[in-house]
Amino acid sequence: MPEPNWKTACHHMSVCALTGASAFFSSIPGSFILINGPLWCYFYAMKYVEDYDASALRRFHCTQPEGNALVYGTEKDLLAGLDFVKTNFTPERVFVINNCSVSLVGDDIAGIASKAGLPWPVYAADSGGIAGDFPEGYEIALMRVIDEIEKNAVTDSIKADAPDRKPSVNLLGLTPTYFRGEEDIAELRRLLEKAGYRINAIPGGGSTWEEIMRLPEADLNIVLRDELALKAARRLKQEFGMPFLSAGIPYGVKGTLQWLEKIHAVFPAENMEAVKQEAETVSARLQFRSSNMQSLWGPLWFDSILVAAPPSEAAGIAEAVRGEWADTGNLVIHFTQDTPLRPAAANKICIAGKDDAAMKETFENWSGGLVLGSSLETSRLVRLKKPFINCNIVLPSYHEIIATDSPLCGIRGAANLFEKIWNAKLQDCMDAVTEK
């Protein structure tokens, strides 16, 4: 992980590359994760995944290499770990993920695994903290899977033998481990299928190994998060001639329609009208509810709005909040990863690891308003005794329980975000009345 990320890890949503790789591999049904490293790395990655998948504990194990393994290699520990998996579990495949120190050893994981006489394949990836944070680890895992796709590619003959195959898309850069991740994946699938697209595969988002191996069969790759999958999309274009579109994640009703129109312009859909009708119905309902609330409590105005999130979430939510629902005199975005995105809705943009002094000023000079971020932002404002109205949009979220299946993105997500923001404002109004 780069030095600036170590310095800012205490107040930004970022975990090491090993966790990102674990999140990607664990999303593939039938997969088992063997962390080749110390218990700390194992527990950290496993717990992160377990927060959305209760079965994670039964699909993770750790080799716990001895101290001299960095000199003599991890073969002994790795064979013991593989034997433990073989004795106690029945996975379809095992992913060995080396942590920082083990990655420096250079063990031949495939060669070691071949000695174990295993009934399932073993794949290896180096993705410790020195490789970067979550996006880099996710990217490493996705690229490792594409290695296997290239080895087994038969897509030309498949396409030639299936002239009646319906046009389809892959969704790249999604993960259930992000805030409302599973719900957002379901909403994106719902919208695209309603518009007339067929989803071929969602690597990292629950697709099976067989579905992922058929990635090149799709007609278009839609990149939802550049930091997770743009590099992979470019590689798939180079190796298989697959076109791709960096579309981002859609937020708000208008934002969702603009997102779909962007995809439609590249790869036309057959039933866009059905989505437009749904959008009009939901938009009319939200406008009606907003008018009722405004007549009682005034407009949805905040002196300041802070949006702190990964690039796609922060950019999309900032545009939707300021463009569709609320108004403010000052909207600040704190991107948790570097990005070229510069949303027009923002008055000021800071990037973690680059603009830490400016980010510090945001908190120290804060005098009240809406905070769309995580528990890290809210806890910092609490420590500084600053007033704020809170609405969680990213992890970690320590002070809110989520038990519904409502997404944040898409049309259903627009209604959910609208509701969350209005209720946050109304609660603040009631608190002010109670204090008097």
Walk me through the domains of the chain, giving residue ranges and CATH numbers: 3-151 (3.40.50.1980), 156-271 (3.40.50.1980), 273-435 (3.40.50.1980)
Q: List CB contacts of 174: < 8 A, sequence separation 6 or more.
A: 181, 184, 185, 188, 202, 204, 205, 224, 225, 228
User: What pLDDT, on a 0 to 100 scale, did the predictor assign at position 401?
Assistant: 86
Show the tokens assigned to 285: 């309902």
Distances (CA, A) of 144 to 170, 210, 212, 326: 17, 15, 12, 43
What's the pLDDT score for residue 122?
A: 94
- Sign for the CA dihedral angle at 335, 338, 339, 344 comes to positive
Measure Cα distances from 145 to 34, 141, 179, 349 in Å: 16, 6, 24, 35
Sole residue written with tokens 């800012």: 8
CB 331 within 8 A of CB 307: yes
Positions of the chain with pLDDT under 70: 1-14, 69-71, 103-104, 128-130, 154-166, 433, 435-436
Q: Tens of pLDDT along 72-113?
A: 778 898 999 999 999 999 999 999 998 877 766 777 888 888
**CA–CA distance, 313 with 224 (Å, rounded to integer):** 10
HEC secondary structure over the chain: CCHHHHHHCCCCCCCEHHHHHHHHHHCCCCEEEEEECCHHHHHHHHHHHHCCCCCHHHHEEECCCCCCHHHHCCHHHHHHHHHHHHHHCCCCEEEEEECHHHHCCCCCHHHHHHCCCCCCCEEEEECCHHHCEHHHHHHHHHHHHHHHHHHCCCHHHHHHCCCCCCCEEEEECCCCCCCCHHHHHHHHHHHHHHHCCEEEECCCCCCCHHHHHCHHHCCEEEECCHHHHHHHHHHHHHHHCCCEEECCCCCCHHHHHHHHHHHHHHCCCCCHHHHHHHHHHHHHHHHHHHHHHHHHHCCCEECCEEEEECHHHHHHHHHHHHHHHCEECCEEEEECCCCCCCCCCCCEEEECCCCHHHHHHHHHCCCCCEEEECHHHHHHHHHCCCCCEEEECCCCCCCCCCCCCCCCCHHHHHHHHHHHHHHHHHHHHHHHHHHC
Sign of CA pseudo-dihedral 189, 190, 194, 198: positive
Whole-structure pTM value: 0.91
